[in-house]
């Protein structure tokens, strides 16, 4: 599971990253960074490809299928297992045609020790932004307004993350992110092959404050090592 994450870069760093890696030069003003405790139900920075170019914007974290009867279902669909995407009617269409990338520079998991759950932050050794594989959907409300939502795809934890939790978000490589965003690729078997655990030797983890347990806490204290 992935239920909280961070993107602690400055706006200048984010703009440079989008330009260098995705050829994106324009960004809407509603994007806010840094974020220290991104939680389900909130908007997350996401990238899609519209068939001709990459675009960045906000999607609401909590997947709502287009055929849903109530958008509240999104709170139970913040993650999607990579192993069953092609088997779930809620996800299969988006797996084929509506794939996205969610930007983060760390994520939180809770390590069980005795009767405690200890919050840990997991990130790259170089503290860089990384692309998480996601799916998106558009739900049309009864009043005609549209709700654009997303889910984070998870896979089996690598050797580092497994010390904390048995699942982790799918973090894409420079090469696999291009495949993932390419709307002309609809081969689900091919797409499934890139949904695998990230190399553990490129990552590290440390303990953080229990402040991250509450989504109300959104400040730099969340990422300070304990």
Closest CA to 117 of 185, 49, 164: 164
Residue 109 is a catalytic residue: yes
Look-up: residue for tokens 């405790």? 37
Phi, psi of 159 (to 5 degrees): -65, -30
Q: Looking at 109, 113, 199, 218, which residue is catalytic?
A: 109
Closest CA to 95 of 108, 111, 105, 84: 84
Look-up: residue for tokens 């896979």? 155
Closest CA to 53 of 187, 182, 194, 185: 182
CA atoms within 13 A on the CB side of 82: 26
**Cα 32 to Cα 30: distance, rounded to the nearest angstrom:** 6
Q: Looking at 2, 25, 26, 100, which residue is catalytic?
A: 2
Residue 218 is a catalytic residue: no
- How distant is the alpha carbon of residue 187 from its chain centre? 22
**Cα 221 to Cα 211: distance, rounded to the nearest angstrom:** 8
For β-strands 43-49 and 54-61, DSSP reports them as antiparallel
Whether the CB-CB separation of 177 and 129 falls below 8 Å is answered with no
**Cα 24 to Cα 60: distance, rounded to the nearest angstrom:** 21
**Residues involved in catalysis:** 2, 109
């Amino acid at each position: 599971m992935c239920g909280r994450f961070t993107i602690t870069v400055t706006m200048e760093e984010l703009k440079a990253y989008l330009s260098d890696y995705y050829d994106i030069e324009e960004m809407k003003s509603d994007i806010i960074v840094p974020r220290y405790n991104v939680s389900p139900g909130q908007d997350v920075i996401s990238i899609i490809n519209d068939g001709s170019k990459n675009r960045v914007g906000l999607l609401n974290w909590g997947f709502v299928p287009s055929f849903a009867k109530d958008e509240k279902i999104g709170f139970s669909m913040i993650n999607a297992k990579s192993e069953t995407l092609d088997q779930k009617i809620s996800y299969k269409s988006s797996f084929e045609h509506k794939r996205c990338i969610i930007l983060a520079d760390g994520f939180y998991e809770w390590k069980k020790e005795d009767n405690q759950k200890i919050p840990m932050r997991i990130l790259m050794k170089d503290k860089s932004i990384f692309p998480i594989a996601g799916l998106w959907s558009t739900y049309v409300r009864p009043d005609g307004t549209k709700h654009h939502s997303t889910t984070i795809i998870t896979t089996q934890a690598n050797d580092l993350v497994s010390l904390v939790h048995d699942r982790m978000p799918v973090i894409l490589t420079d090469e696999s992110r291009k495949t993932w965003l390419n709307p002309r690729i609809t081969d689900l078997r091919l797409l499934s092959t890139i949904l695998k655990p990230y190399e553990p030797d490129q990552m590290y983890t440390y303990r953080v404050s229990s402040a991250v347990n509450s989504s109300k806490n959104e400040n730099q204290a969340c990422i300070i090592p304990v």
